[in-house]
Amino acid sequence: MKKDLLTPLFSWLLARHPATFGRLFEATVVFWAICLSTYLPTTQSTQRISGPSNGVATILSWMPRTLLDSPTLETAMVAGVWIVGACWLLQRFLPYSAWLTAMLFTLAWALRHENMGKTIHVHHVTTNLLWLLAWWRQCTMSEYRLAKAQGNPISGNYYPEWVFQACLAWVCIFYGWAGWSKLCESGFDWANGISMQLWTRLWGDAGFFATQWVLDSRPLAFLLMSLSLALEALAPLAMIPLLRPWIGAGLIGMHLGIVTIFGWGFHGNMLYIVLLMLPVREWLETGEFHFLSLLGLPRAHRVRLAGFLRQGGPATRPS
């Protein structure tokens, strides 16, 4: 009985699809990982500090402090990410280049966290996507080789459904936690408007028009905070296809605000949301682009709705 329940789920998750979307998403994640690792050597003098240990911060906290404090080790990890990341982008030495990119990227950033006096979160989503994508390439190496031999290295059927669902689930978990941690720490009072105006005054781009809008209007600041809280806390609902584009569009809007007003490096996260939550995969797999797919409607309903809109009313059966 239990097996009967799981069989359709496993069949769905293990089903293979053309890898076009997977390869585009993989290239985006790996490219952004290379960009994020490049940030590390450029900020060694400003972000790394000396001083007493703050206790457990990363998976490397058990290592001797002399090793953790070495900027050379961090630079070596970054150089490693550039080399193996480039190999992954060029589809060379797979799946080893994929595993090594995930490992070195994680270690490079862990070393940075170990030497900072405050934390940042621009790279967490990328780190864990790298691990999921490395596992994909590990599991489907023989299928990839076959597709390559048949002349379909990009569009061959070696993209399992679970890869898309797992990447989407991780993004949902991360943003879900962002909302839940606000609710746990501050409750619904978090969305008060004043805090956002203070952060905007402190760190916002004073020359940008939206910065002035936020500073000049408490109701706008309150609305933006309320929407951010709702979108983040409800982000896991994006696992439901019907709600996905709506939550995705909201989160993209939130990130556009963060990137343009504050200039913080969440560009990669925004791209991942575009690729995973807007119907990009469907557009690539079917070759069809229709604005109605942005509504999250299943294809059959969209075809009916598109026909309805074209005719200006319900279709009538010929007599």
Partner 1 sequence: MEKPSKTPIPHPRELLFPAVFLGVLLLVPVGIVDFYPISSAPMFNEEPQVYCDYQVVDAAGQELPLEWFHLQRNDNGNPPGFGHGKVPRFSVDRLGKIATEEEILEAVRAGMKEHQIAGPLVVEWLTIGDLDGTHVGVLKANKMTVTAP
Binding site for partner 1 (CB under 8 A): 10, 13-14, 16, 49-54, 56-59, 61, 68, 106, 109-110, 113-121, 124, 127-128, 131-132, 135, 139, 142-143, 146, 160, 162, 166, 169-170, 173-175, 177-178, 180-182, 184-186, 189-190, 192, 194-195, 197-199, 201-203, 215-218
CB 197 to partner 1: min, Å: 4
Name the residue nearer to partner 1 (CB basis): 48 or 299.
48
Name the residue nearer to partner 1 (CB basis): 203 or 308.
203
Two structure tokens written together for 223:
């609305």
Name the residue nearer to partner 1 (CB basis): 143 or 285.
143
CB 143 to partner 1: min, Å: 5
| Residue 264 φ then ψ, to 5° | -75, 150
What type of residue is 129? L
Region of residue 287 (phi > 0: left; psi between -120 and 50: alpha; otherwise: beta): left
CB 93 to partner 1: min, Å: 21
CB 161 to partner 1: min, Å: 10
Name the residue nearer to partner 1 (CB basis): 75 or 217.
217
Q: How open is the CA angle 309-312-316, to the nearest 5 degrees?
A: 100
- Please give the distance of CA 287 from its chain centroid, rounded to a whole number: 24
| Residue 18 φ then ψ, to 5° | -55, 135
Name the residue nearer to partner 1 (CB basis): 106 or 293.
106
Residues 6+ apart with CB under 8 A from 165: 13, 239
CB 241 to partner 1: min, Å: 19
Helix pair 124-139, 267-277: axis angle to 10 deg: 50
C-alpha distances out from residue 194 to 211, 212, 318, Å: 14, 14, 62
**Residues paired with 18 in a beta bridge:** 157
Name the residue nearer to partner 1 (CB basis): 27 or 198.
198
CB 242 to partner 1: min, Å: 22
Two structure tokens written together for 117:
């006096």
